[in-house]
Amino acid sequence: MSDTKALLEKIAALRLRIDQSHHLATAAGATAADPAGAAALEDKVRSGGWHSALLDGVLRGAEPAEKPALPVRLSQRGARLVRQARDLLAQLKALADDPILPADAADPLAELHRSTAGMIDAVLRTVQTFPPSTSAQSRMSEGLEAILEVVDDRLSIVKAAMRQRSTETGRIERLADALRRIAAGQAVNVASLEQLAGEVREEARQGLPLRFHALPTDDPAHAAAAHGLTVAGVLARLIDGDADWQGRDLEGLVAALVHDAGMVRLPAELIAQTGPLTEEQRRLVERHPLAGAQALVKLWPGGGWAIDAAADHHERLDGTGYPKGKRDLHLADEVKLLTVCDVYAALASARPWRGPHEPRTALTDTLLLADRGALDRKQAERLLRLAFYPPGSVVELDDGCVALVLAPQVGERALTQPARPVVTVVREAFGQAAATPRYLDLAQQTERTIVRSLAPAERRQVLGRLYPELV
Ligand SMILES: [Fe+2]
Ligand SMILES: [Fe+2]
């Protein structure tokens, strides 16, 4: 090689190095100029978020510990690959700065985000080791392009899950705000509650998974809102398409949303308490139905189902409930149904002092209470419409496959076949992902049965990367 040629190649390599530093510095510019974003990143790094450290390093153009040699000349295809990787990395960076992305490194969404950032890092580092030959670069680019396609898919999954979480936390905030105002005797726009009820109804109509919100312990209004949304979600699925409820369903769902407005006045430490209540605390809790009903009268001066539901949702048909020990004949049918939803929702959701009960257990326990005369049997049997395993449940079949429940049976079959929903297999018997989508109607395929539903930790493991929004 002549001196001139060697010199030209050195200049080309130097230009490329300067070019790459420039691009990386440009991508990092937004972070450097944004002290709030930089502080958020530093927080996550401090809390041990490896992926944030990685993003921070890559986006700021920090030098890796070992400096891979840069290729002499990058082919057009290689350069396109780098541009695409940088674009995907910038999108991941934007998501990392969004407070919706959980700081908990063990959260499946954070894990998916982190490992996806790692894939891009691997691609960029591999490009740095490209050989000079264009044909060799082309072969390697093909493999790296395939990795970036997977990265793109994962990015879509992360974005969809973050949208979902944003919607859910937004709804809890909106309802908590309304409940605070109701409890404080301030004006609340009933139309905004009806809009929220309409969103819950629409999700039920679309057959979307039922959410059992854990009880937030930071604020009683958040707790009442999260629980109200779960109860409304249950009720929406029970009355959807029911002729008796036509034209009244929104009223019922609003009642479900606000039925625990009286909880807002409870002390925050009582909501978060994990041990048994003292006698005085128990008396405070037993006041929440009437406190809620009194606050809601200002919203509906002429009375209505929301007020009855707030006042009577802890009454039991056999007189064992509170605050008044009312019996069967003094309770409206609508309130009896909401009480059934309230009991089922509370059992199936996590509480500060216990984890969530499996939906099947929550359903059978609610039916047992009806059998003993505490709850209305006819209203409790409506829960069978949810099936033992509501949509969104992850179950193990008797052949070892893991499946996601898509829909319960409909009509008469919903009542006779509650353990046989329609499912799709997500993991084969030996643990590998299902190669092709397979839908099973277990009411038709009677040789297959559900053995159990998976515990939250198992759900994370099986579904975390595929559907973090379902975990
Ligand atoms: Fe309550
Ligand atoms: Fe409740």
Same domain, 359 and 418: no
Instruction: Please compute the mean of the pLDDT values over residues 350-376 and round it to a whole number.
Output: 94
* Contacts made by residues 454-463, CB under 8 angstroms, sequence distance 24+: 454/394, 454/395, 454/396, 454/402, 456/355, 456/356, 458/394, 459/394, 460/108, 462/394, 462/402, 462/426, 462/427, 463/108, 463/394, 463/404, 463/426
Rounded CA separation 324/18 (Å):
78
Distance CA 220, CA 262 (A): 10
C-alpha 393 to ligand 2 mean position (Å): 23
Query: CA–CA distance from 146 to each of 80, 117, 133, 249 (Å)?
Result: 13, 15, 20, 49
**Pair (330, 271) in one structural domain:** yes
Three-state SS for the chain is CCHHHHHHHHHHHHHHHHHHHHHHHHHHHHHHCCHHHHHHHHHHHHCCCHHHHHHHHHHHCCCCCCCCCCCCCCCHHHHHHHHHHHHHHHHHHHHHCCCCCCCCCCCHHHHHHHHHHHHHHHHHHHHHCCCCCHHHHHHHHHHHHHHHHHHHHHHHHHHHHHHHHHHHHHHHHHHHHHHHHHHCCCCCCHHHHHHHHHHHHHHHHCCCCCCCCCCCCCCHHHHHHHHHHHHHHHHHHHHCCCHHHCCCHHHHHHHHHHCCHHHHHCCHHHHHCCCCCCHHHHHHHHCHHHHHHHHHHCCCCCCCHHHHHHHHCCCCCECCCCCCCCEHHHCCHHHHHHHHHHHHHHHHCCECCECCCCHHHHHHHHHHHHHCCCCCHHHHHHHHHHCCCCCCCEEEECCCCEEEEEECCCCHHHHHCCCCCEEEEEECCCCCECCCCCEEECCCCCCCCEEEECCHHHHHHHHCCCCHHHC
Q: Between residues 437 and 81, which one has the greater pLDDT? A: 81
Tell me, yes or no, whether 129 and 270 share the same domain. Answer: no
- How far apart are the CA of 186 and the centre of ligand 2, in A? 22
Q: What is the mean pLDDT of residues 53-82?
A: 64
pLDDT bucket at 435, cuts 50 / 70 / 90 = confident
Ligand nearest to the CA of residue 288, numbered in listed order: 1
Per-residue pLDDT of 392-431, as tens digits, reads: 899 999 999 999 999 999 888 888 899 999 999 998 888 8
| Pair 200, 236: CB distance under 8 Å | yes
Lowest mean pLDDT among 10-14, 27-31, 317-321, 458-462: 27-31
Give the closest ligand to the alpha carbon of residue 339: 2
Q: Do both 382 and 399 map to the same domain? A: no
Q: How many CA atoms lie within 13 A of 206 on its CB side?
A: 10
Ligand 2 centre and the CA of 180: distance in Å? Answer: 16
Which of the ligands is closest to the CA of residue 228?
2
pLDDT at 275 over 80: yes
CATH number at residue 272: 1.10.3210.10
| Whether residues 139 and 206 fall in one domain | no
Nearest ligand, CA of residue 215?
A: 2
Q: Same domain for 10 and 129?
A: yes
- Ligand with smallest separation from the Cα of 344: 2
Calculate how far, in angstroms, residue 313's C-alpha sits from the geometric centre of ligand 1. 6
214 shares its domain with 308? yes
Q: How far is the CA of 67 from the centre of ligand 1 (A)?
A: 62
Residue 174 within a domain: no
How buried is residue 373: exposed, middle or buried, by Cβ count under 10 Å (0-12/13-18/19+)?
Answer: middle
Ligand 1 centre distance from Cα of residue 179 (Å): 13
Rounded to the nearest angstrom, the distance between the alpha carbon of 265 and the centre of ligand 2 is 14
Residue 143 shares a structural domain with residue 287: no
Domain of residue 37 covers 3-166
285 alpha carbon, closest ligand = 1
175 in a structural domain? no
User: How many structural domains compose the chain?
Assistant: 3
**pLDDT confidence of residue 399:** 92
pLDDT in tens, 148-205: 999 999 999 999 999 999 999 999 999 999 999 999 999 999 999 999 999 999 999 9
Q: What is the distance in A from the centroid of ligand 2 to the CA of 342?
A: 5
The ligand that comes nearest to the alpha carbon of residue 338 is 2
Q: How far away, in angstroms, is 256 Cα from ligand 2 center?
A: 8
Q: Domain for residue 171, yes or no? A: no
CA dist 129 and 137 (Å) reads 10
Place of tokens 């930071």: 218
Q: Looking at the structure, tell me whether residues 360 and 409 fall in a common domain.
A: no
Q: Are 25 and 61 in contact (CB under 8 A)?
A: yes
Can you give the pTM of this predicted structure? Answer: 0.80
pLDDT surpasses 80 at 1: no
pLDDT over threshold 70, residue 20? no
- Looking at the structure, do residues 281 and 413 belong to the same domain, yes or no? no
Is the model's pLDDT at 8 over the cut of 90?
no
Query: How many angstroms separate the alpha carbon of residue 320 from the centre of ligand 1?
Result: 15
112 and 93 within one domain? yes
Tell me what pLDDT residue 432 has. 83
Do residues 377 and 440 both lie within one domain? no
User: Smallest Cα–Cα separation from 248: which of 305, 313, 171, 333?
Assistant: 305
- Measured CA to CA in angstroms, residue 418 lies from 171, 365, 386, 396, 410 at distances of 30, 15, 8, 16, 10
Tokens of 342: 């309230």
